[in-house]
Chain A
Amino acid sequence: ETGVTQSPTHLIKTRGQQVTLRCSSQSGHNTVSWYQQALGQGPQFIFQYYREEENGRGNFPPRFSGLQFPNYSSELNVNALELDDSALYLCASSIDRGRNNSPLHFGNGTRLTVT
């Protein structure tokens, strides 16, 4: 059983640029969430995708967008990068079968640095 994999592991971008981060869900998982973890803080929820549709969003501006594909892999896109976007971006997958409480399984993250 493969776990959650994210690419790339590290990325350096310039302010104003756009970035795409990728995630492959754990086998059998149909729900993917993205989190931003700034230095010294806990992860913050960005959004969640289920059946290729966004079904939950945290307090992040519209320049943060995402996609989920039929194979349950996912992308996080950030436009017009700002210095404060520098963080570790974590992808997490889970199985959603109604009101179950299966925990999130996280990938190792992508470290984004905006200069």
Chain B
Amino acid sequence: DQQVKQNSPSLSVQEGRISILNCDYTNSMFDYFLWYKKYPAEGPTFLISISSIKDKNEDGRFTVFLNKSAKHLSLHIVPSQPGDSAVYFCAARTSGSARQLTFGSGTQLTVLP
């Protein structure tokens, strides 16, 4: 039973264009969402997060949107750069679960020069 789903295993985008990575969740108790980026042979690196009381959070080129009614969040990267090529994981947690994150299966983003 996957509570966090990333249905696109891969995405290719041209440098300078927008990258949109999507994530769906089923557990309505999730109240905090995070995106992590992972390069080969490295651990996941925290990118950006959003609380369920917000619908948007922006940090430089990265923006996360949360649609609670649809149980959907997305990560927008504008403009995309070749260095953004990595696996992106969506993760979620409930307020009662301390540091227990539930991860999606990841999306491999390739930014083409």
Contacts and interface: CB of A to CB of B under 8 A. Distances in A.
A112 B112 CA distance: 33
Interface centre among A31, A50, A106 (most CB of B within 10 A): A106
Nearest to A32: B99
B4 to A, nearest CB: 8
Given A42-B105, A42-B106, A101 B46 contact: no
Interface residues of B, number: 26
Contacts, number: 63
A53 interface: no
Most interface-central of B6, B45, B100, B104 (chain A CB within 10 A): B100
A65 interface: no
Contacts of B51: 101
A86 interface: no
Contact of B46 (A45, A96, A103, A107): A103
